[in-house]
Structure 1
């Protein structure tokens, strides 16, 4: 069989043809590879350079490779955080014509780390709780979309920094199944697998001396279940309110917004006696603050980053002469009543903030000192440093001063601890 590259983007096959498909993945030359941290996998996985892209290449049999490729494409259409599928390569043979395993190719998730790389230095329990939060949110989002993972674990997840928290991405969909809706039994099966897998992975770290002594692996396995159930209950429970108390429904929707979710579809019904109202969220979409920030500024970020940037944007807007104090906050779908004829629309102020504040601040940090931090995470770190310096000085020291101090005193100390940049120049052949 001739070499075949199945891809959705017509540009990818030409770039991928440059890779040494006639060699088993374990034998690929170093000049094709990118030295990024890899997690544990039942398959051979390597990071490679294809043109300007960094891709993850995984060897596995043809049927599961094609199936996982299609599942990842479906998750992408549903807006689920998962690695981006690029292609499946089949018909590989070595120099003697012997068949080689097909490969699945996904785009490297910039700024992400497998959990084992995060434990190279002993992770504090508070940070581990944030990891569990991120994984619980991912599992809830998958289940809301009708996806049964079948192998939820830390090993099958990548984590990205998200404004003091973490965002979790599915990396391995090989065991998954997509349904119109999951039963309680399917969800509980996934949850039980997650509990067992996470406890086992943490026990392995404990045996290697890489776990904080106060961390109980079994208890952390149970924690993912508790966090999942709390979030699932908040997102799906039925509420019954007294008739006429419609602001209770608005309060419930705002609480869901604060968790980072929008209610895309709901059901409201009066009781037979007309004395109560039943409210049920029917479709809940994650990314509330992401969508607000993207609509206002064009910046595409993680959810907690978007929340932080929206807060900074609102504070900055309040200092502008053409800001209407009673105008809707950034991201609101409501419009101003028009009582301020000279007031700028929120979208205009938001784009001015991007031009005059966000971009100049990020560009003030030399690229070689940023490591793998994306612009939104870097801006969050600068805001945190500004707050710290202002608290110490007992007055606002300003963003420019914070950037100067951060570049001079903070980044040089942490540069070596940051994961390598995927866009670093390739080593010579």
Structure 2
């Protein structure tokens, strides 16, 4: 049997790079090397495989690109719940991380790869693109579809995995609110989605709500600014797609009977338009009402958005001012918490933890400045809680979500008891009565038959 050189050459990576696996070379000809039979040969890749990536992880080369994605073996796969997709999608292990691999056309793969890179540079909530793989060929020479590789968003779930026995109406409302906020954020940076749906979104727990991330950008385009017509068309697509998805859930018995799919899908219209108006509308105020400027900024900050600049124009008669804030982006509380503590969490989680820092400072360290109080809170509250979680339960939820839920649990049991419950007792109660019964949202389930094809149960 001939020995093959699987990597014949590579070009250096600068920004983007491509690696090629060339045609195998038979080094046994002309007596160059003795023939030998390896104990466990790995099938050679018979085509000029090309991997385009900003930074290539060499372990990508070890994946079976010469096999159609739907035929990948369980040893390569990570069994995570998958959403609905028009393409073949699989989760695979890549070192200590998990990636999503989607088979599609080369044009679509490259377009989506570059679009996701642009969105991440704009700090838009979306998955991270890793590579485009083209030139795939089966062992018999049959061409295989190109693939887009993205990094799996840790602790995220498709909407179909966010139910226990049935998807509750309250949970559904929170998902749609998160979808509306995602759409507003994308529209603010000039992104027209073109295929808005719950299926094309991943959700992460964010305190009592959810944070939504775009996971499919193949139909999207970036513009300097979207017209009202483009935004409304995205909304129309969202309403139609969400209604269809809810009808599918209802037919499968996975949604409460009281839910009206069409009426529920219309909630995204109200949620989106209300938020968009708050972020972009002009206010007229009397010259003596300048306090309303600070009020508007605080209201926008409360929604999680920072204001880059304020435009004030006097009316022709000089009796009124026209106020137009320029919103930068969501993440006001995230950025403040990160500056104070170094913790990088979701927006609502950050707001909840900042509130606890303020209460902690007033109660325990009133003499301390904000920075010192935050550092003490991390040591005395955040780290005490996270270190008290048993190792076998630490993958259930991300640490910030656990801390949020412990604080909520403390309020609940203290109110029920009529007295303040110590933190250690609260954590013990939360671990045994709440966390132990939650689904592990970080771990990779290793049961090969599952292969990511089923949605495990959840408690909302």
Q: Same fold (TM over 0.5)?
A: yes
User: Among residues 276, 284, 304, which one is paired with 1:232 in the alignment?
Assistant: 276
Residue 378 of structure 2 corresponds to: 354
Give runs of aligned pairs for residues 55-94 of structure 1, distance below 5 A: 55-94=99-138
Which one scores higher on RCO, CA 8 angstroms, separation ≥ 6? 2
Aligned match of 2:358 = 314
Q: Which residue of 2 aligns with 1:332?
A: none
1:59-78 CA distance string (max 9 Å, x none): 11111101100110111111
Map Cα deviations across residues 203-245 of structure 1 (whole Å, 9 max, x no partner). Answer: 1111111110110000011111111111111110000000132
Residue 317 (structure 1) shift:
1.2
Tell me the SS of whatever aligns to 2:62.
coil
- Aligned equivalent of 1:169: 213
Trace 1:153-164 onto structure 2 (pairs within 5 A).
153-164=197-208
CA distance in 1, matches of 2:125, 2:391: 26
Does residue 397 in structure 1 map to residue 421 in structure 2? yes
Q: Deviations over 1:273-326 (max 9, x none)?
A: 2211111123331111111101111100001100110011111111334x34xx
Q: Please point out which of 431, 440, 443 is paired with 1:421.
A: 443
> 2:165 matched to 1:121?
yes
Deviation, 1:137, is: 0.3
CA distance in 2, matches of 1:150, 1:26: 27
TM-score, structure 2 normalization: 0.85
State the SS of the aligned residue for 2:113. helix
- Bigger shift: residues 128-137 or 115-124: 115-124
- More moved, 365-374 vs 203-212: 365-374
CA distance in 2, matches of 1:367, 1:71: 39
The correspondence of residues 11-30 of structure 1 with structure 2, limited to 5 A, is 12=57, 14-30=58-74
Aligned counterpart, 1:199: 243
1:236-247 aligned within 5 A: 236-247=280-291
**Residue matched to 1:53:** 97
Between the aligned partners of 2:290 and 2:156, the Cα distance in structure 1 is 43
- Tell me whether 1:272 sits opposite 2:303 in the alignment: no
Distance 1:214 1:254, change over 3 A: same
Work out whether 1:43 is the aligned partner of 2:43.
no
Q: 1:275 to 1:119 in 2, by over 3 A?
A: same
Q: Residue 209 of structure 1 aligns to a residue in which SS?
A: coil
1:305 aligns with 2:345: no
Correspondence for 2:13: none
Larger Rg: 2
Contact 2:78 / 2:446 at 8 angstroms: preserved in 1?
Answer: no
Say which is worse superposed, 344-353 or 214-223, in terms of deviation. 344-353
Between stretches 203-212 and 349-358, larger displacement belongs to 349-358
Measured on the aligned residues, the alpha-carbon RMSD in Å equals 1.5
Q: Which residue of 1 aligns with 2:302?
A: 258
Deviation of residue 426 (structure 1)? 9.5
Equivalent residue for 1:336? Answer: none
Q: Determine the structure 1 residue equivalent to 2:185.
A: 141
* Distance in 2 between residues matched to 1:186 and 1:268, nearest whole Å: 28
Alpha carbons 1:370, 1:411 under 8 Å: kept: no
* Contact 2:279 2:327 (C-alpha < 8 Å) held by counterparts: no
Q: Secondary structure at the match of 1:218?
A: helix
Q: Any unmatched runs of 5+ in structure 1?
A: 325-343
**How far apart in 2 are the matches of 1:23 and 1:203?**
36
Using the TM superposition, name which of 378-387 and 352-361 deviates more. Answer: 352-361
Q: Contact conserved, 1:113 with 1:160, CA < 8 A, in 2?
A: yes
CA contact (8 A) 1:266 1:283 kept: no
Deviation of the 1:400 alpha carbon? 1.2
Q: What is the CA-CA distance between 1:120 and the residue it aligns to?
A: 5.1
User: Offset at 1:391?
Assistant: 0.8
- Greater shift, 297-306 or 352-361, is seen at 352-361
Q: 1:64·1:174 contact (CA, 8 Å) conserved in 2? A: yes
- Aligned partner of 1:338 in structure 2 is none
Structure 2 stretches of 5 or more lacking a match? 1-46, 449-460
Q: With the length of structure 1 as denominator, give the TM-score of the two structures.
A: 0.91
SS in 1 for 2:112: helix
Q: Say whether the 8 Å CA contact 2:182–2:212 is kept in structure 1.
A: yes
Say if 1:31 and 1:426, in contact at 8 Å, map to a contact too. Answer: no
Give the CA deviation at 1:29: 0.8
Which residue matches 2:145? 101
Distance 1:389 1:120, change over 3 A: closer
What CA distance in whole angstroms lies between the structure 1 residues aligned with 2:55 and 2:372? 35
Structure 2 residue 420 is matched with structure 1 residue 374: no
Q: Which runs of 4+ in 1 moved over 4 A?
A: 424-427
Task: Tell me, yes or no, if the aligned pair for 1:152 and 1:194 is still in contact at 8 Å.
Answer: yes
Count of aligned pairs? 402
Indicate if the aligned counterparts of 2:396 and 2:435 stay in contact, CA closer than 8 A: no
Shift of 1:420: 5.8
